Structure 1
Amino acid sequence: MLDERKLAVLRAIVEDYVHTEEPVGSKALVDRHNLGVSSATVRNDMAALEEEGYIAQPHTSAGRIPTDKGYRLFVDRLTTIKPMTVAERRAISAFLEGAVDLDDVVHRTVRLLAQLTRQVAVVQYPTLSRSAVRHVELVTLSPTRLLLVLITSTGRVEQRVVDLGTNVGDDLLGDIRARLNAAVSGRQLSEVQSLVVDLPTSFEATDRSVVAMIISSFLETVVERTEGRIAVSGTANLIPFGQEFHTSLRPVLEALEEQVVLLRLIGEATGPSGFTVRIGHENPYVELSTASVVATGYGPGDEAVANLGVVGPTRMDYPGTMGAVRAVARYVSQILAGE
């Protein structure tokens, strides 16, 4: 474990390298930072940091740059995450509050996150399995067809056309709607099957086949799709960092086109208050071994229903990026909670 002085030197190297894009020398550290020690002491500390693998010399006679191990220790020992300014918070709130539905929320969020961080932003749509039923609506399309609309606690809307093959009166339809909502409103989608499977038996025998068809369509609607849905924005933000990826930017961009890759990258966030930060070779894909991922969960209340985050080079402003990701996640969570 590094002592506090060497940790301060490492922190200064990371901050300077992120800001200047240039390898950092001992003289620059002494000039820019109040380390309270001589250049000779800083050189000794840098030598020790290099020997332990926290920094590296990219070429002879150059200063030092952080390694993945150095960035990891820097992130793990962060004492504060850069907060958003009052103006930034107001801008985030105003931009997101203008959304009209869940799709609009997700697309506004991913664009905003890309603009704030100047990285590639990824936002996962809320998954059905983590949502609760807010309301079920049955809308008559014709005497024998209706539209079943499921609205979840996260604002997600699912629709399904039900062809009943027989006329259904308004009174019966209203009764089905009322009993179905009484049974499932506020309940997790993962538990609704057991709540409605016997519902047809509570109706008159002549109506049970119609009720059974509606319940069957409802259960098909709440079944989780195998594929997750995501939105991506800001891939062009990586172009200025192209030289920082060891081979070329193309493999990185190709990896980011794969939905399963993105879902795995952001899919292990620990919840609305926690972060997943993967640095360089910690990523599960070799194409992203020179990239970093910062992700967190979002959702109404304390439970995350989906994740969002950013992908960028390892030379990333981690405190600022984590602050932006956290702030956006909080605002989206508040919107989904109806606050």
Structure 2
Amino acid sequence: MSELSDRQRQILRAIVLEYVVGAEPVPSELIASKYGLGVRSATIRNEVKEITEIGFLSQPHKSAGRVPSDQGYRFFVDNLTSSVDPRSSDRQSIRNAIDEDEPLRELLKSTTKTLSRLTHLLCTAALVRNGDVRVRQVLISGLGPGRALLVMVLENGLAENRFLGIPATATIEHIGDANQILADHITGKNLRTLLVHEMPTVPNPLVSQVVTGVWQAIRELAEELTRLQVVSDGEEFILAQPEFQRDTDAMAMVLQALEQGTDLHQAVADTKQGHVTIGSEHDSAPLHSLSILREVFFVGTDEAGTLAIVGPTRLDYERNRMLLRLAAEQLSMAVTNALRA
């Protein structure tokens, strides 16, 4: 990565900040008049020209100002960002959204919704695909003749419910016997094992019918839970961004990324890419006009999933990374505390 002088760093930071707010090319005259760098406009223009030649800025039109390139954003993120303190209202909004009494999936929905409203960007949560996650508890409850509710809780805090049909003549005692069998044969097993684990022989015909239905439901849940699970909110904010409104090609690519989903969801969950991936750093072409900010959230010390903010490369990296870290920390504490309760 090419080195910049202190003045060039100040100029690049100023251009990024101005472009993030205004979404319009930034002229050298604005930097000279607003940021008080103690040099003439001509000097600023020469510095801007050099930064452009390095590749950190581009000029959309000959008479236009400059906009940051993906390389410029990368240099900004790695070298020029400052820490930002959360507003008390932001902190309170995130705390209000994260209720540790809710199941994990509902926590993710409320968290992504709140983040999207605070950032006006797409916010996404991806649960770790982990076949090694173990079942903490499994329980069936009778709801009346022929109906029951299955609840399965995993060690990572995820709780899944399923309504089931059971024999209409099954009694509370039959359901109790079935629960004991499930506790003996399901609790403590990991999801990968449940995909192939055979149901035990159950002598009582009614109990056997109950366990058979539950066993099938648990296997289906295990198959679902070992696939990538994603919760998102705020697609409308992405499509409203000015750079996509005025560039039909960019809009088409973003729509493709949102509609296909797979590449975007994989990119959100790919923590090997680091906390920030910018534009052309993504492998998938439809993501080249987007940046993804990621933070991992935990259950205790175990990784449970990824919380992410997705927006145009022109986004407020400082504030949004702060909000994302705050939300991930609050989410980790809520899930961990819920499991300890």
Q: Where on the TM-score scale, by shorter chain, does this alignment land: which range?
A: 0.7 to 0.9
On the 8 A contact 2:241/2:312 being kept in 1, the answer is no
Residue 98 of structure 1 deviates from its aligned partner by 8.2
On the 8 A contact 2:297/2:331 being kept in 1, the answer is yes
On the 8 A contact 2:16/2:68 being kept in 1, the answer is yes
Q: Deviations 1:97-129 (Å, cap 9, x if unpaired)?
A: 287434432221221111111112222356563
Q: Which residue does the alignment assign to 1:64? A: 66
Q: Deviations 1:145-189 (Å, cap 9, x if unpaired)?
A: 85542122323214363757996772x754553464367656654
Q: Which secondary structure does the structure 1 equivalent of 2:300 belong to?
A: coil
Q: Which residue does the alignment assign to 2:162? A: 159
On the 8 A contact 1:159/1:221 being kept in 2, the answer is no
Q: Deviations 1:236-258 (Å, cap 9, x if unpaired)?
A: 22314234646252441232022
Structure 1 pair 21–200 and aligned structure 2 pair: CA distance change class (3 A): closer
Q: Which residue does the alignment assign to 1:43? A: 45
On the 8 A contact 1:145/1:165 being kept in 2, the answer is yes
The runs of 5 or more residues in structure 1 that have no matched partner are none
Q: Which residue does the alignment assign to 1:76? A: 78
Alignment of 1:147-226 (within 5 A): 147-153=149-155, 154-159=157-162, 161=164, 170=173, 173-174=175-176, 177-178=179-180, 180-181=182-183, 185=187, 188-190=190-192, 200=200, 206=203, 210=208, 213=212, 216-217=215-216, 220-225=219-224
| 1:313 and 2:312 aligned | yes
Q: Which secondary structure does the structure 2 equivalent of 1:14 belong to?
A: helix
Aligned partners of 1:191 and 1:335: how far apart in 2?
28
Give 1:277's aligned amino acid. Answer: V
Q: Which residue does the alignment assign to 2:15? A: 13
Q: Deviations 1:199-226 (Å, cap 9, x if unpaired)?
A: 948xxx8469939847844751452326
Aligned partners of 1:164 and 1:81: how far apart in 2?
61
On the 8 A contact 1:17/1:65 being kept in 2, the answer is yes
Give 2:308's aligned amino acid. Answer: G
Aligned partners of 2:59 and 2:214: how far apart in 1?
66
Q: Deviations 1:282-335 (Å, cap 9, x if unpaired)?
A: 223323322222222223223332222222211111111111222222222222
On the 8 A contact 2:124/2:230 being kept in 1, the answer is yes
Aligned partners of 1:111 and 1:313: how far apart in 2?
18
On the 8 A contact 1:140/1:146 being kept in 2, the answer is yes
Q: Which residue does the alignment assign to 1:235? A: 235
Superposition TM-score, scaled by structure 1 size: 0.80
Structure 1 pair 330–186 and aligned structure 2 pair: CA distance change class (3 A): farther
Residue 93 of structure 1 deviates from its aligned partner by 0.4
On the 8 A contact 1:121/1:310 being kept in 2, the answer is yes
Aligned partners of 1:163 and 1:175: how far apart in 2?
14
On the 8 A contact 2:125/2:232 being kept in 1, the answer is yes
Residue 24 of structure 1 deviates from its aligned partner by 2.5
Give 1:101's aligned amino acid. Answer: P
**Percent identity over paired residues:** 28
Q: Which residue does the alignment assign to 2:330? A: 331
Q: Which residue does the alignment assign to 1:124? A: 126
Aligned partners of 1:293 and 1:53: how far apart in 2?
21
Q: Which residue does the alignment assign to 1:2? A: 3
Give 1:2's aligned amino acid. Answer: E
Aligned partners of 2:333 and 2:189: how far apart in 1?
20
Number of matched residues? 330
Q: Which residue does the alignment assign to 1:111? A: 113
Aligned partners of 1:99 and 1:245: how far apart in 2?
44
Structure 1 pair 248–298 and aligned structure 2 pair: CA distance change class (3 A): same
Residue 11 of structure 1 deviates from its aligned partner by 1.7
On the 8 A contact 1:267/1:307 being kept in 2, the answer is yes
On the 8 A contact 1:149/1:159 being kept in 2, the answer is yes
Aligned partners of 1:34 and 1:164: how far apart in 2?
79
The runs of 5 or more residues in structure 2 that have no matched partner are none
Tell which deviates more after alignment, 323-332 or 112-121.
Answer: 323-332
Structure 1 pair 54–147 and aligned structure 2 pair: CA distance change class (3 A): same
On the 8 A contact 1:110/1:231 being kept in 2, the answer is yes
Q: Which of 66, 89, 92 matches 2:91? A: 89
| 1:279 and 2:278 aligned | yes
Aligned partners of 1:191 and 1:317: how far apart in 2?
44
On the 8 A contact 1:99/1:108 being kept in 2, the answer is no
Q: Which secondary structure does the structure 2 equivalent of 1:295 belong to?
A: strand
Structure 1 pair 315–79 and aligned structure 2 pair: CA distance change class (3 A): closer
Tell which deviates more after alignment, 286-295 or 76-85.
Answer: 76-85
Superposition TM-score, scaled by structure 2 size: 0.79
Tell which deviates more after alignment, 147-156 or 219-228.
Answer: 219-228
Give 2:3's aligned amino acid. Answer: L
